[in-house]
Chain A
Amino acid sequence: MNQPARKSTAVAIAVLSGLVLSPSAFAAPPVVKVDGSSTVFPITEAVAEEFQKARKGAINVTVGISGTGGGFKKFCRGETDIANASRPILKKEMDDCAKTGIRYYELPVAYDALTVMVNPQNTFVKSMTVAELKKIWEPGAQGRINNWKDVNPAWPDQKLKLYGAGADSGTFDYFTEAIVGKAKSSRGDYTASEDDNVLVQGIAGDKGALGYFGFAYYIENQKKLKAVAIDGGKGPVAPTPENVDNGSYQPLSRPIFIYVSEKSLDKPEIRDFVDFYMKNARPLVKEVKYIPLPAKAYSGNLDHIARKKLGTVFAGQNETGLTIEELMKREAQL
């Protein structure tokens, strides 16, 4: 009876010594490591899936979800090659990267349209102005604006129930910045979730509901939800791929990015992957229900790499309402 016990001890010792001696000489396929935002994940995942198919297993890609902030932490420690980001890199993260000597390219890969949604039974709201949204979401509204008629006297006496992104997400940062005027400044008495399906269920089951989240979740749930057109000062504009593409859906359309480490780009497999990403992004972005950038933006990204245009064009600030053309023209800094 004690034989098996001895055997398993021997195996354990073998495994532990294997752990210590493990860096072995023969070559496994090189791995491209990507981590970061859950918003950008579906795009990078689609590219990774196609890339691995195209390279027939000669290069492997891993994609993790640890949020834009978590992704930058790993990226600036040099643990990953590429960071998925649903907002530009912030000052503090730039400093972290500078400390470890990680230099990077900032490559916009798609647009996301933050979509404001109401219950389909809500017949009185077709569009909302940014001022009305601000009235609902600013911190001062907490406990005060609880009824649709408080927002606009023309709207009926109907209880207002709010659903929105959790405070750790890039979506929350962007929405508050664009609507309230200051990132992370929001009322707190609403149903917050990092899981957008929870928000979809909430709005679909509540007649007086209003909420916001990424465009892809709206497209997949169009029968359960009604999107509100946003009036940013030039009349109401509906969240459609066309309106995002022509720049009229403002201020709630935002570019999303990947950040690529300069050092990693020296490796042929990373360069190959980024190349593949930019050349195949347009159809794949559309397939996963995001809005592709104009074709020249993707070739422009590759051009920036070729001309070594390192760094970010946002100077550590989260800006809203930028068009891709403005973005591509700006000077980058590290």
Chain B
Amino acid sequence: MIPKSFTAATSEAGVAEIRRMIARHKTWDWLFGLLGTLALLFATLVFAALFGQMLINGVPHLSWEFFTSFPSRRAASAGILSAWVGTVLVMLVTAIVAVPLGIGAGIYLEEYARKNLLTDIIEINVTNLAGVPSIIYGLLALGLFVYQFGLGQSIAAAGLTLALLILPVVIVATREAIRAIPQNVREGAYACGASKWQVVSHHIIPYSLPGIMTGVIIGLARAIGETAPIITIGALTFIAFLPPSPFSSPDHLLSFEWLLAPFTVMPIQMFNWLSRPEEAFQANAAAAGLVLVVMTLSMNAIAIWIRYHFRKKIKW
């Protein structure tokens, strides 16, 4: 094909032929660009419309009282106190469990694991786990954490469930971040006589931290909106008290009783309000949705900031 048109290009007709071909290809370029823009516009407009509607319905309801009131049968005095406290505590447990486990597993798979069949199987499974529907994690957690471990319908059980859910995300993010480190950094360190642990702790972890943190936060941003697994393990719908404070222990030690406290989370509170007969609750749901979206967006913003801020410092 190509040599033929090249020889043809010597003649006048050949030049015209090539011009036509270029013009045709340019049309395709232009068409595809248009299609892409339309797709993008469609997605953003749908989001903008949904978000706009939520703003219109929800903003008038946002007030200090909305954040400091418990749920109520009266729409006007109902608030999200137990829901946002529950969400924050569950996320805390999730992060504390998923971050060290995920980073550890990622580092092991990249730096320590021998390349053999077992490692391959583990790798395939980690990737597959990322695609398992969240309700499956809920069912697993119901059997394992709630009944087997006797944690009951508690913050700890929910936190552990969501930690399992985001573990594959953290592992994959860790591995991607580690792989992005040039091989000569490792070789240079080994050449200077560093041990494996020194290479990992002085170089691999610090350099990959921005990527890892981004993965962790994106994982948490996914977990914060999860409803199915939390409902499966039995989060409550009406709860008008807070878990015991960690500082309430009389012997001045940190108390961990809150871990076993019953709880509710933001998406469940929203869902409950949406299914109420009174129309006034729809505005509450919109306001709660707004708070949840702002929580998620700010987590993503933090992820972007971390990536930008720490990448600047790394020079190789």
Residues of A bordering B, CB below 8 Å: 1-2, 5, 8-9, 11-12, 14-15, 18-19, 21-22, 24, 26, 28-29, 31, 33, 35, 38, 41-42, 44-46, 48-49, 52, 57, 60-66, 74, 79, 195-197, 216-217, 219-221, 287-289
Contact = CB atoms under 8 A, between A and B. Distances in A.
A286 to B, nearest CB: 12
Contacts of A14: 254
Contact of B272 (A5, A15, A65, A74): A65
A289 B249 contact: no
Binding site of B, secondary structure by majority: helix, strand, loop or mixed?
loop
15 contacts: A8-B100, A11-B96, A12-B97, A18-B256, A19-B256, A21-B256, A29-B241, A35-B236, A41-B238, A45-B237, A48-B240, A63-B236, A65-B272, A197-B274, A197-B276
Interface in B157-207: 201-202, 205-206
Contact of B238 (A9, A24, A29, A45): A45
Nearest to A2: B201
B206 A52 contact: no
Interface centre among A28, A195, A287 (most CB of B within 10 A): A28
Given A60-B241, A64-B236, A196 B256 contact: no
B44 to A, nearest CB: 27
B89 to A, nearest CB: 12
Given A22-B260, A26-B250, A31-B262, A15 B73 contact: no
Contacts of B241: 29, 52, 57, 60
Interface centre among A9, A219, A289 (most CB of B within 10 A): A9
A62 B73 contact: no
Nearest to A52: B240
Contacts of A44: 238
A62 B236 contact: yes
A309 B255 CA distance: 43
A221 B277 contact: yes
A75 to B, nearest CB: 13
A307 B201 CA distance: 71
Interface string B247-280: 0111000111101111000000000101111110
Nearest to A31: B262
A15 B93 contact: yes
Contacts of B276: 197
Contacts of B287: none
A195 B275 contact: yes
Interface residues of B, number: 46
Nearest to B152: A79
B209 interface: yes
Contacts of B234: 35, 64, 66, 74
B100 A49 contact: no
- CB-based closest 4 A-B pairs: A18-B256, A1-B206, A63-B238, A220-B277
A77 B275 CA distance: 28
A196 B277 contact: yes
Given A28-B244, A221-B277, A287-B73, A22 B238 contact: no
B105 interface: no
A49 B77 CA distance: 12
Given A26-B249, A28-B257, A45-B237, 16 more contacts: A2-B202, A15-B93, A15-B97, A19-B156, A28-B244, A29-B241, A41-B238, A49-B70, A60-B240, A65-B237, A197-B275, A217-B277, A219-B277, A220-B277, A221-B279, A288-B73
A196 B275 contact: yes
B291 to A, nearest CB: 21
A18 B259 CA distance: 9
Contacts of A45: 71, 73, 237-238
B103 interface: yes
A61 B97 contact: no
Contacts of B70: 49
B53 interface: no
Contact of A220 (B201, B236, B244, B279): B279
Contact of B257 (A24, A35, A63, A196): A24
A27 to B, nearest CB: 10
A126 to B, nearest CB: 24
B154 to A, nearest CB: 9
Contact of B73 (A49, A60, A221): A49
Nearest to B246: A18
A62 B244 contact: no
B99 interface: yes
Interface centre among A12, A221, A288 (most CB of B within 10 A): A12
Interface in B213-241: 234-241
Contacts of A35: 234, 236
A11 to B, nearest CB: 6
Contact of A216 (B256, B259, B274, B277): B277
Nearest to A195: B275
A46 B237 contact: no
A287 B277 CA distance: 13
B93 A1 contact: no
Nearest to A63: B238
A1 B205 contact: yes
B127 interface: no
A164 to B, nearest CB: 16
B72 interface: yes
Contacts of B97: 12, 15
